[in-house]
Amino acid sequence: MKQELVTAELTKPRLTSARVMRIFLAPIRHWKAWVLPTIIVVVWAQLAARGVLPSYILPSPAAVVEELHYLWQTGELSQHIHVTLLRVATGFVAGALAATLCGALAGYSKLFRDFVDPTLQAIKAIPSLGWVPLFILWFGIFETSKIALIAVGVFFPVYLNLMNAVRDADRKLFEVAKVYRLSTWHTITRVLLPGTLPAYLTGLRSGLALGWMFVIAAELMGASQGLGFLMLDGQMTGNPAAIIGALLLFALLGKASDLLLTVLSARALSWQDGWQSSEQSSN
């Protein structure tokens, strides 16, 4: 059995630097992904140029780029981006760690699941903005309340995916591990972890996406910096270019972070031999 494990370890596909570059350049190589954004920008520019909507409602793409360039030159935009990235990263780590612990326990222990899961499912239904007044009351308007709100958004997708993955792990694989007399540690690392890892990583990606959604609500809680604050400031000052620019930055940063997590997931799951992964590696 040990010889088979060593052989599998040596023969599994590696994530080379060339493969990493292919993952990062996939949106460029797959030109179809750029068709819809291009159409949106062209239609947007035409509507703005023809004056279909006034500029105080829909500024032109050039006006948005000009506004972002001005904010970047003043150093204000880089500060807003840095603060938002730090909040999302901290909230993501906090929420993912808590969800990993609770999800693993709920998946492994029916007793823990029966006591805890119904309450968590009820809490999951609370809208993000519903937490804002309570977190402000508990933690104030500073960073703790904002990070707590983002962590709540990250928690539930990770928790649900991991709990279901552990609970639905293939019983036959554990029976095979018993036949080969694998230790508890090897059963976890060789059977349970590979079996739950794909669903867990999918939960992390979903949690990260919700973290970006929740950070907007978090930065409306008395923030003085961040892209969410930039949107609110644009509303208060009647600057739609700043609002649309912040929205575009949210989309780009969210996509970039998801792409990074996708690359890390591909490295962690390089042992998989799915038909889509084999098809992509042949391209």
Reported as a single tens digit per residue, the pLDDT across 161-215 is 999 988 887 777 767 767 767 766 777 667 777 778 888 999 999 999 999 999 9
Q: What is the mean pLDDT of the chain?
A: 83
Q: Is residue 127 part of a domain?
A: yes
Q: Is residue 2 part of a domain?
A: no
pLDDT of residue 5: 44
Phi (first) and psi of residue 12, to 5 degrees: -70, 150
Q: Is residue 7 part of a domain?
A: no
Q: Is residue 171 part of a domain?
A: yes
Q: Classify 169 as helix, strand or coil.
A: coil
pLDDT of residue 168: 80
Q: Is residue 281 part of a domain?
A: no
Q: Classify 152 as helix, strand or coil.
A: helix
Instruction: Give pLDDT tens digits for 116-136.
Output: 999 999 999 988 888 888 888
Domain count of the fold of the chain: 1
Domain that holds residue 170: 19-44+61-271
Residue 6: which pLDDT band, with cuts at 50, 70 and 90? very low
Q: What is the pTM assigned to this prediction? A: 0.80
Distance (Å, whole) CA 263 – CA 66: 33
Q: Is the predicted pLDDT of residue 12 greater than 50, yes or no?
A: no
Q: Is residue 126 part of a domain?
A: yes
| DSSP code for 188 | I
Residue 282: which pLDDT band, with cuts at 50, 70 and 90? very low
CATH number of the domain to which 66 belongs? 1.10.3720.10
Residues with Cβ within 8 Å of residue 222, at least 6 apart in sequence: 136, 141
Q: Is residue 52 part of a domain?
A: no
Of 219, 206, 269, 207, residue with least CA distance to 247 = 219
Q: Is residue 257 part of a domain?
A: yes
Q: Are the beta carbons of 198 and 268 closer than 8 angstroms?
A: no
